[in-house]
Amino acid sequence: MTTTTPRPTPADTEQGDPRLDADVRLDVDHLARVLLGHYPELRLGARRLMTDERLHRIEGQTLAEHRDRVLGQLRILAAEGDVHRSFPARFGGADDHGGFLARFEELTHADPSLQIKSGVQWGLFASAIYHLGTERSHDQFLRDALTVAVPGAFAMTETGHGSDVASIGTTATYEPETEEFVIHTPFRAAWKDYLGNAGLHGTAAVVFARLLTAPAGAPRVDHGVHAFYVPIRNPQTMEFLPGVGGEDDGLKGGLNGIDNGRLWFDHVRVPRTHLLNRYGDVAADGTYSSPIASPGRRFFTTLGTLVQGRVSLDGAAVTASRLGLTIAITYGNQRRQFQGGTGDEVVLMDYAEHQRRLLPLLAETYAAGFAHEDLLAAFDDVFSGRNDTPDTREDLETLAAALKPTSTWHALRTLQTCREACGGAGFLAENRITGLRADLDVYATFEGDNTVLLQLVGKRLLTDYAKGFKHLDAVKVARLVAERASDAARFRTPLHRALQTVSDVGDPRRSAGQLRETDTQRALLVDRVETMVAEVGQALRPAQKADPATAAALFNSQQHALVEAARAHAELVQWESFTAALARVTDPGTKQVLTWVRDLFGLTLVERHLAWYLVNGRLSAGRARTVTSYIDRLVSRLRPHAQDLVDAFGFEQAHLRAPIASGAEQARQDEARAYYRAQRASGDAPIPEKHTR
């Protein structure tokens, strides 16, 4: 579908002819195909399934009703939803890891509770059995997990330790006499907590515990965190099994279709074969073995197999942002408020501030979507085995740790802004935005707390920075550091700022033209990342020769700077993905509009961090003012295409299910306008009091 929308004349255009903007056409169908990414047919198939009313959330249900409905929906998906794609063919799968997640993300349209409960069952419980177990585990446990004959929990997080999995307290002590592991919770802080399916429905759990062995005559050895398959409830009575206890987490801030709960274990015995033994095994006599000699590498490899949770949350956050913006922009194009001097009230999207609130968020959502497709491709590349090496796994983990925080925080900001942009209508549960906002709140802290994940990214950036010094002697290192410091100082000198100011003030349009160049945007974004990482790296150099306590204190003092550098890196990744995606757009008009969207995203990032660019001398005050003014021009330029840009997301009313985005508002406005026009035409319109004086 190609659309042409009249628009107000902008101050100027890139070509210098204000008439050319009005001739730009956006091909919605072409853009929609681009946005479907690497798995278009799988996504479209999942969206067709999401129009099934059996899978839709019913607002206003009680906690018990919502949970019961989502469990029933889970079983519908097991039978009809093609949810086993990432598993082996002998279990009904297709060994298709990227396609599995592409379909999984689309569940957000129906109900985020269904998406997350599905993630618990297949993305965590079943996937842990598959990725951490061997064929022994697969044959024993996997089929029942996939069919939901055994609803399962993923028992990693403890009340006392969330992100710090290495420090969990639950133990699994092996007894050679009985060939059993004894699972035990030694103190209250070691209770497993916030576990989906643990509160009510789960009959088994994959429990993460410290594996302890004591070969004959030898002291006990702690082999670190391993995973065990542990039955927790009688499937007939749904009562806890002997030694297992727990509590229901009860009502939460969102995702109340999921029965989150707590579990504890009092010397619960499971057979030796219940150890998921891909990365560590225990022989009958208690001898421990592992294909990975290093305990640290073994631990990170174990956790790395579970990265798909972060990948899927990144995609779900993008979907939620798209839903919110589609609802808000559609409503903004129909809802009218205040007289505009033409006799009719003005649609909300024609107000400059309304555009400024929503369109930069739309641009960032496009960037997040393109970055997610790159993440999905990297995930499939590794998990399919096509390119599975320690380095590619580390790259994947770093990319997921960068994008999941960025997209989930963005989704929360976007949904809140969309709610406010829709006024009182946005606060009504029937219009879904508040429900989506509540459900996505926890995305910022589960599958890895966002701030902790960015610390992981920052550490990787520091490691890569240090590699630049690895093969240099001390003299060359000192020279390189001095050159970088000199370069940073050069940007801060009054002379450099004065020269840049002179070049800026000649022609504002020329200055704006430089800012919209791809190379200029890339240079600004790359420079910020590299400078921030270099400054942290230089600040931490004394830690190399310091005692552990001093080194830890020094690292702690740089923690905020490290997190900010990781944020800057994630933003750069999104911008690069957006820029690369432009090459996949073949329709000229669509490519032009999408380039404006990319420019809006890039310059919004610069504006967001304008203080940094000014303090560090990367932009003059004159150029900084140009950033904001050009953003305003881009927003105005994109206003006629706003509806097309959200329509390209490809959502039907069955996906949105928001009355304010159904056309009902347009019908109300048309009725009101017709009423007043008829009054004026008949001469029956009342006379304003001020006209009688």
Task: Report the half-sphere exposure of 394 (CA within 13 A, side-chain side).
Answer: 10
Q: Which of 592, 594, 460, 613 is nearest to 523 (CA)?
A: 613
> Cα(first)–Cα(last) distance of the chain, in Å?
54
116 with 123: CB under 8 angstroms?
no
Burial per residue of 142-161, b for 16 or more beta-carbon CB atoms within 10 angstroms, e otherwise: bbbbbebebbbbbbbbbbeb
The DSSP call for residue 571 is: H
Tokens of 579: 């820029």
Which residue type does 519 have?
D
CA angle in degrees (0–180, nearest 5) for 354-106-109: 55
442 with 474: CB under 8 angstroms?
no
Q: Rg of the Cα trace of the chain?
A: 28
Residues 6+ apart with CB under 8 A from 355: 349, 635, 636, 638, 639, 642
| The dihedral sign for the CA sequence 300, 301, 305, 308 | positive
Tokens of 599: 């420019």
Active-site residue identified among 106, 158, 180, 447? 447
108 with 65: CB under 8 angstroms?
no
DSSP strands (E only) in 214-329: 221-231, 244-248, 261-265, 268-271, 281-282, 288-289
Residues 6+ apart with CB under 8 A from 308: 86, 97, 101, 123, 127, 379, 383
Tokens of 141: 């446990």
The DSSP call for residue 376 is: H
CB burial class (10 A; 0-12, 13-18, 19+) of residue 678? exposed
Report d(CA 562, CA 233) in Å as an integer: 44
Give catalytic status of residue 179 as yes or no: no
Q: Which of 487, 427, 461, 506 is nearest to 617 (CA)?
A: 487
Tokens of 291: 């294909």
Listed as own residue / partner, the contacts of 384-387 with beta carbons closer than 8 Å and 24 or more positions apart are 384/95, 384/97, 384/98
Q: Residues 30, 32, 34, 36: what is their CA dihedral angle, to the nearest 10 degrees? A: -150
Q: Which residues are catalytic?
A: 447
